[in-house]
Structure 1
Amino acid sequence: MNNTEAPAGSRLGLAAIFGSTFFALVGYFILTPLLLLRLKGADVSSTVAGLFVATGWLGIFVMTPFASTVTNRMGRRQCMWLASAVLMLCALLFTLTQQLVLWFALNLLSGIAMSLRWVLAEALIAEFCPPQKRGRYVGLFQTLVSATFIIGPTLLVWLGPQSSITLWAVNGLNLLGLLWTALIPPVPSAADAGIAHVGVRGLWHALMEHPIIMLAGFVGGFFETGVTSILPLYGLALGLSGAAAAVMVSISGLGGVALTIPAGYISDRFINQARGRRTLMVWSASIMLLATLALPWVAHTPALAWPIVFVWGGAGGVLYSMSMTDIGAREKGITLVNSTAVLVLTYTLGGLVASGVSGALIDWSPTLGFPALLVLVAAIGLVALVRSHRN
């Protein structure tokens, strides 16, 4: 196989990963706002609800450093099966218990399984797709992910947050995700399996190789998923209904759907694709900062929240997809898993910081403290990307 060809079984592999990810994430984006709304209905504070969301991100953060170690021992396909099965089990147990402590524990376990599945899905997409079309395939995958931001909360509104069948629908979607995962074809052994560093040492090497890309991952995770996960709480603080607050997550996903595929196609058309990806990342960070600067006016004009959330989802999605495309163009095998794990780790850290801190800031100062944090993160990301792009 030459360096312009995809590996054998790549079409089936791509279809299986796309399909399993779609069903798993639709279930996730029904479940997360549903549990948040039920916590708020039980008079749980926004601070505790924000910590509940952060617990899932903590699970991802804790597991990600060990993803390459587990993968090296079990194999990439087997790890995907295990992670999907654990996610299905957690969704079932959420259905069967109402204990808050158990919900926190299940959310942590779900995060651990999601971490393993996330790293492997991203790495396998990068390996299965044709190298000359990597940008568009990664963009298509990220668009599918963004679409689940829309479909999940929309289904939640349609099924009803108080309906007894909603959690069972989540279970069905997780089962479909597991079945699609079983279609992943055998993955060729990684050429660097015996020589690549794994665990913390491998992650440190990957971080030193791609520091600015990893910072972009943090900013993307902060806005695209971390802030998005807390949007139902922000919507309620603005006086929106529970259904309207949940739909804010869909608007964020719509931004990713609208912008990520075009960004992928454009990145493939640059003569110097690496520089083209950095250019698109700078523009995304710039738009994200401009939108965030308008946030203090949302309290007086709630309709302004919709375009701001749209930009957050779109710009965050482009930052992450360009980062993943850049890593996929440079790495293979276990080294690719390491680099993907670091990107997921920094993206997760962004989500963890956003969801863990934003709930308290919304309680304390939704019109000043919350916007100030978002502006600071967007500005740091933009400055770092501009400086890197000029070098």
Structure 2
Amino acid sequence: MTDTTVRRTSAGSPMGLLSVFGSTLFQLSGVFMLSPLMLVLLKEREVSTTVAGLFAATTWLGIFIVTPFASALTRRWGQRRTMWFASGAPLLAAIGFLTTDSLWLWFALELLAGVAGGLRWVLAEAFIAEFSPSDRLGRTIGIYATMVGATFIIGPTLLAWVGSEGPAALGLVIALLSLGLAWTTFIPVVPPHAESTNTHVGLRGLWQAVRSHPIIMLAGFIGGFFELGLASILPLYGLAMGLGAAAGALLISVSGLGSTLAAIPVGMVADRFTDKVRGRRTLMALCVAMALATACGLLLVARWHALAWPIVFVLGAAGSSLYTLSMTDIGAREQGIALVNSTAVLVLNYTLGGLVASAVSGALIDWSPNMGFPLVLITVAAIGLVALLRTRRAGRF
């Protein structure tokens, strides 16, 4: 089965892609500058670390609240209006942070920004799939993923440059978010798809998407486990293995480098297959096999510390590749509201994988960093590889 049987061939929309890329670049650069800035401002107000941590977690709470209902909101408001809200709400929140000192209002504004962030995550990737040429979908999604990774660097770098003292930092954040909102206004209207009228929204729509793409959702979970989840606990792993605080923190950078460098090449390779669906499954299986083999190498890190660096690089690359391939597969198969539903489920599974990895791995590092921690990574990768190989062999794509 090839993509042409499940998705119309499209020449793409260059203006649509440029608008989404521009909007996301400025928006996320502002968001990732704002997030550490708010933690600094909270500590300057001498709030406890617990309160600061709850404030940071409020963003994820907003994402989890809104993601199951992204398709329902999109059907009610339309894709462009929903994207306008997703771009305007963080700007409103930043202005609120600048003009009020009320802590409870800061929490409310952060929750609003998290809700908007969840909608942007789903809608931006759905827009990319809608506007990308069908024969270059993997490459386009890979480029987009790489650009998103770059904003993780751009935002904090700008904060370090301008400093956190005085109103200048929040002023720059507001300027970046305003530019992101301005770019959003150039996003073209997506023509309604006939099949969207028969597609469920809300929780029924999410379940429909899970049933349509179960193996893709598993791949998204594993991708989040190895990319998002491991990155959050790598400093703890580094300390447990005796690497030191600075080296442990640098493990995050190495993992992020692997994630960033892998997205474009794997997307380009996915586009070159004649049978693109089978080709993407093959690449997914290879990525999980690579993660499995590399996770086995963690058993040797206690003896050879230098192995930690290439291992976390490969694990980050494998996680990023799985997410890129999963989004490419969904974008090639779905359109309209069904595309939003499937993207929302992928986002939920990816973040769930990250949360599971963070929670389970932290406890295992405390218990047994040499054996327990590697074994859970090996188990997750092995389950994913078996599922992907069985699905591919049975031809259930």
TM-score (norm 1): 0.83
Q: Are residues 1:204 and 2:207 paired? A: yes
Aligned pairs for 1:161-310 (under 5 A) are 166=169, 168-231=171-234, 239-241=244-246, 248-295=251-298, 304-310=307-313
Offset, 1:31: 4.4
Letter in 1 for 2:85: L
Choose which of 147, 152, 172 in structure 2 pairs with 1:144. Answer: 147
Q: Which runs of 5+ in 1 are unaligned?
A: none
Q: Does 1:58 align with 2:61?
A: yes
For 1:351, give the aligned amino acid.
G
Post-superposition offset of 1:184: 0.9
Task: State how far apart, in whole Å, the 2-side matches of 1:33 and 1:362 are.
Answer: 26
Would the aligned equivalents of 1:148 and 1:253 in 2 still touch at CA under 8 Å?
no
Q: Which residue of 1 aligns with 2:3?
A: none
Residues in 2 aligned to 1:236 and 1:173: alpha-carbon distance in whole angstroms? 36
SS at 1:187 equivalent: coil
Give the AA of the match of 1:281: M
- What TM-score, normalized by structure 2, do the two folds share? 0.82
RMSD, matched Cα: 3.6
CA offsets 1:137-191 (integer angstroms, 9 cap, x no match): 1222122223334444555555568897555544433232222212212222232
From 320, 323, 327, the equivalent of 1:324 is: 327
CA spacing shift, 1:262–1:292, aligned 2, 3 Å: same
| Local SS of the residue matching 1:197 | coil
Tell me the percent identity. Answer: 59
SS in 2 for 1:192: helix
Cα contact 2:98–2:167 (8 A) shared by 1: no
**CA shift for structure 1 position 226:** 3.2
Question: Residue 219 of structure 2 contacts residue 323 of structure 2 at CA under 8 Å; is this kept in 1?
Answer: yes
In structure 1, give the amino acid aligned to 2:295. T
Matches within 5 A, 1:336-351: 336-351=339-354
Aligned residue among 3, 6, 9 for 2:11: 6
How far, CA to CA, are the matches of 2:307 and 2:164 in structure 1?
Answer: 25
Q: Which has the larger radius of gyration?
A: 2
Q: Secondary structure at the match of 1:4?
A: coil
Quick check: 1:53–1:356 contact (8 Å CA) kept in 2?
no
Matched with 1:385 is 388
Q: How many residues align?
A: 385
CA contact (8 A) 2:365 2:373 kept: yes
5+ residue gaps, structure 2: 1-6
**CA-to-aligned-CA distance 1:194-223 (integer Å, 9 cap, x gap):** 322111111111110100000111111222
Q: Structure 1 residue 356: deviation in Å?
A: 4.8
Which segment is superposed worse, 121-130 or 167-176? 167-176
Task: Check whether the contact 1:49–1:359 (CA below 8 A) recurs between aligned residues.
Answer: no
* 1:60/1:348 contact within 8 Å kept: no
Contact 1:150–1:249 (CA under 8 A) maintained in structure 2: no
For the residues of structure 1 that align with 2:214 and 2:252, how far apart are their CA atoms?
A: 29
1:216–1:319: 8 Å Cα contact kept in structure 2? yes
2:50 matched to 1:22?
Answer: no
CA distance in 2, matches of 1:260, 1:371: 25
1:192 CA drift (Å) = 2.9
- Mapped to 1, the partners of 2:297 and 2:172 lie a distance apart of 38
Structure 1 residues 341 and 275: alpha-carbon distance in aligned structure 2, compared to 1, 3 A threshold:
same
- 1:52–1:19 distance in 2 versus 1, CA, 3 Å: same
